[in-house]
Amino acid sequence: MNAARLRFVRTPTGLVGSLLLAAVVAVALLGPLFAPYAPDEPVGVPFSGPAEGTPFGTDFLGRDVLSRVLWGGRSVLALAGLATLLAYAGGIAIGLAAGYSRSLLDPVLMRAADVMLSFPALLFLLVLVTGAGTSKAVLVIGVALVQMPLIARIVRAATLEQSVRGFVEAAVARGERTSAILRREILPNIAGPIAADVGLRFTYAIILVASVNFLGLGLQPPAADWALIISENRSGLTLNPYVILVPAALISLLTISVNLVGDAIARSLGISTARRRLVR
């Protein structure tokens, strides 16, 4: 594992991806410390361009764009990150259980996942938010629920493939507990395919969170949030483009860097087992 980790940093995608990701995360987490103004403090005329003290101009209420952007990354990162974590926790558990069990559990879990998949993601979220209220917890759980079935399917397929292998049989013959077999024998071997689309899932979570916020059903004004900032100020795009471009660029950088890192992790995990085959 250590060797794989080293190789991951050495690949160009891994290096560029992790530097970019670190930069965006730093902006999101540490930004408020450097913000010149409070996020909800009017400092000038609405939609004025860059000026002394307000390098990216002001928004539709005359608040400093730089300050709002520096404040606005935390919620995106936290909501999308938590939702992704939750989705993986649930998806991996469901997928392992379904893939390893030879009982009715498998079809029951998978048909439930199919039902979930048949709802369009955004529609499901909107119904949920409308029904359960616009709290952050509901948003996180909703985004996680949307992602979970897809993750569970991938994990199940990978688990099925591993569970007939000799080392799993050897563990069964040793009388190992099911939980130990799943954790020790199967999980490390399916980490590759799982890691391969963490980037994609996280990106999707960001998009979902941002979409709900943009539609006004997630975080409510005056909260500072990159997606919400874009939504609030879209009428002023021609007056002060920075108010849209800066948060949009940050969201893009976040998703791109997460994807690069995900790719690099998957590749380094894959190479550690396929290396010998390449030499032949």
Residues that bind other proteins (CB under 8 A): 1, 165-167, 169-170, 172-176, 184-185, 188-189, 272-273, 275-276, 279-280
Rounded CA gap, 251 and 89, in Å?
Answer: 24
**41 close to 50: Cβ distance less than 8 angstroms:** no
User: In this complex, which beta carbon is closest to other proteins, that of residue 63 or of residue 267?
Assistant: 267
User: In this complex, which beta carbon is closest to other proteins, that of residue 29 or of residue 170?
Assistant: 170
Q: Smallest distance, Å, CB 174 to other proteins?
A: 6
Q: Kindly write down the DSSP assignment for every residue of the chain, as one continuous string.
A: -HHHHHHHHHSHHHHHHHHHHHHHHHHHHHHHHH-SS-TT-B-SSTT--SBTTBTT-B-TTSBBHHHHHHHTHHHHHHHHHHHHHHHHHHHHHHHHHHHH--STHHHHHHHHHHHHHTS-HHHHHHHHHHHH-S-HHHHHHHHHHHHHHHHHHHHHHHHHHHHTSHHHHHHHHHT--HHHIIIIIIHHHHHHHHHHTHHHHHHHHHHHHHHHHHTTSSS-TT---HHHHHHHHGGGTTT-THHHHHHHHHHHHHHHHHHHHHHHHHHHHHHHHHHHHHH-
Q: Smallest distance, Å, CB 180 to other proteins?
A: 9
Q: Smallest distance, Å, CB 255 to other proteins?
A: 30
Nearest CA to 230 out of 219, 243, 240 is that of 243
Q: Smallest distance, Å, CB 276 to other proteins?
A: 6
User: In this complex, which beta carbon is closest to other proteins, that of residue 10 or of residue 275?
Assistant: 275
Q: Smallest distance, Å, CB 273 to other proteins?
A: 5
**114 close to 79: Cβ distance less than 8 angstroms:** no
User: In this complex, which beta carbon is closest to other proteins, that of residue 183 or of residue 234?
Assistant: 183
User: In this complex, which beta carbon is closest to other proteins, that of residue 22 or of residue 170?
Assistant: 170
Q: Smallest distance, Å, CB 1 to other proteins?
A: 8
User: In this complex, which beta carbon is closest to other proteins, that of residue 104 or of residue 123?
Assistant: 104
**113 close to 200: Cβ distance less than 8 angstroms:** no
User: In this complex, which beta carbon is closest to other proteins, that of residue 108 or of residue 170?
Assistant: 170
Q: Smallest distance, Å, CB 166 to other proteins?
A: 3
